[in-house]
Amino acid sequence: MRTAVLLGFRLRQEVLEWSGAWWFLLTLVVQAVVAPLIGLFVWSAVSPDDPAIGRYYTAVILVTLMTESFEQHTFSERIYNGTLSHELLRPQPVVIGVIGMNLAIRAWLTVLGAPIVLLTGIALQVGFDWWSVLRSTPYLVLAAVLVFLWTFLLSLTAFWTDRVHAVVGFGSQLVFLFGGTAAPIALLPDGLRRVAEVLPFYGMIGLPAEIAAGTRAGGSLLYQLAWVVLLVGVVAVLWRAGVRRYTAVGS
């Protein structure tokens, strides 16, 4: 209960904090939607008569906006500039602050990016089956958790290297390639598709988008949950090792 109250308060704080940087958030929205839009243009040109492509990529844009994570900019910077010390001194798990900021940024990106999703849908005359959209909700929630855990895990490498942006950039490329943004994974070569379906990246973008678009009737929540459990474990181990190594900069 106390954790929920603290998280709620932190979320409110961060929403307020980021409200002053709406122009910066707009640039994040643009960056987030560029890759799915390119995928949309390419695959619409390949299959101009397939309405599912438009639906799928409109869903991908929305899923991307709602699951974006920037812990390499927020959390890792705190390691680099030493302000993580403030968080370590607070009688609450440090991750509450990280999650609070993550949710606040996602909320802003969703609000600011909604017109783009709407315009894309109208321009492509996309029609969603709202039952499919509703059914995608648990998959979307788990996708949001997975993206956060993946980005946070890679951002924890800031305890060991000052090149965290390269590490997270590499991780994002994996999500782009195997997550269903570069191409719906059903369109990947057979072997690659089988690999993509096992890796966690498909559960971050492609799976909830396919279910919302109605191109897939059902998926395995268990597959997403298994990756959540595994990533939570790895994050916990890396966090403990990282904090031991932590040496705050300056005074």
Partner 1 sequence: MSAVEVENLSMSYKAPVRKGGLRAALGSLVRREYKTVQALDQVSFTIAPGEVAGFIGPNGAGKTTTMKILSGILYPTGGEVRVLDHVPWQRRSTFLKRIAFVRGSQPVGGSQELTVMDSLEYQRLLYDVPRAKFRRTLAELEALLDLEPLLERQLRALSLGERMRVGLAMALIYRPEVLFLDEPTIGLDVSAASLIREFVREYVEQTGATVLLTSHYMADVASLCPRLILIDHGQVQYDGPLAELSARLSPYKLIRISAAEDPSAFGEVVEKADGQWVLRVPRDEVAGTTARLLQALEVVDLAVEEPPLEKVIDQAYREGLR
* Site residues for partner 1 per CB under 8 A: 2, 5-6, 9-10, 13-14, 16-17, 19-20, 82-83, 85-92, 243-244, 246-248, 250-251
What's the CA gap between 78 and 89, in Å, rounded? 14
Minimal distance, residue 249 CB to partner 1, in Å: 10
Distances in Å between the alpha carbon of 221 and those of 3, 59, 84, 100, 204?
26, 18, 34, 25, 12
Q: Find how far residue 10's CA is from the centre of its chain.
A: 20
Residue 236, class by beta-carbon neighbours within 10 Å (0-12 exposed, 13-18 middle, 19+ buried)?
A: exposed
Short-list 68, 2, 64, 67, CA closest to 39: 64
Minimal distance, residue 5 CB to partner 1, in Å: 7
CB nearer to partner 1: give 91 or 189. Answer: 91
> Tokens in use for 209?
């988008």
Minimal distance, residue 163 CB to partner 1, in Å: 14
CB nearer to partner 1: give 51 or 82. Answer: 82
Minimal distance, residue 27 CB to partner 1, in Å: 19
CB nearer to partner 1: give 44 or 83. Answer: 83
Q: Find how far residue 95's CA is from the centre of its chain.
A: 16
Minimal distance, residue 93 CB to partner 1, in Å: 10
Short-list 140, 69, 134, 130, CA closest to 98: 69
CB nearer to partner 1: give 69 or 74. Answer: 74
Minimal distance, residue 74 CB to partner 1, in Å: 12
CB nearer to partner 1: give 85 or 110. Answer: 85
CB nearer to partner 1: give 11 or 62. Answer: 11
What's the CA gap between 153 and 33, in Å, rounded? 23
